[in-house]
Structure 1
């Protein structure tokens, strides 16, 4: 879980994203129980309705599910679902704008690959 919340963004989304991050980074594994609503309310000192709103988004997306009387648990396919969602978002938010900028400037695919390879290795591209 994040230790603090950003006051400039909706808190319920940050709760959702914090749980997603814990799943993607292996801190929560499939079939693990997530922190209870009351634990999240107490930890962040926020309204229970706010926590519930973030949790319900994850339930609606099939990332977590409720075991009656026990709490909320990570779905078996949650990591794969989240990775697929983030890959789609990454493509739309990062790759498509990169292509839209690079093509008119005349960059070749090979040049783009070389720049990405260089950046991946931590090298500066001069």
Structure 2
């Protein structure tokens, strides 16, 4: 039987954080190359994921964002730039939804920690 899952900003109390590799090492913008993840939920088909992700400053250009993702910034900041030049900045407490296929430049300006929920 399923039950609600409480996401904790410091990661899963039993599993903690593990290294993640969503960001290419060439995309980091400082000497810090830290990227880690703490999963709280994965559906049986692997199409829905939820947890906490943390990443050092980096800059990635997405022709099309690869998944539908809702996220809430726990700490740090990220700046999203649309192809038309529109810039949106997000910091602690902000929640955003990124539709799959969205083109953007994703720039983490201060080490970002976020809650995420991904549907693919």
Provide TM-score, normalisation by structure 2.
0.25
Hey, which of these two has a bigger chunk of helix by percent? 1
Q: Highest Rg: 1 or 2? A: 1
Hey, which of these two has a bigger chunk of strand by percent? 2
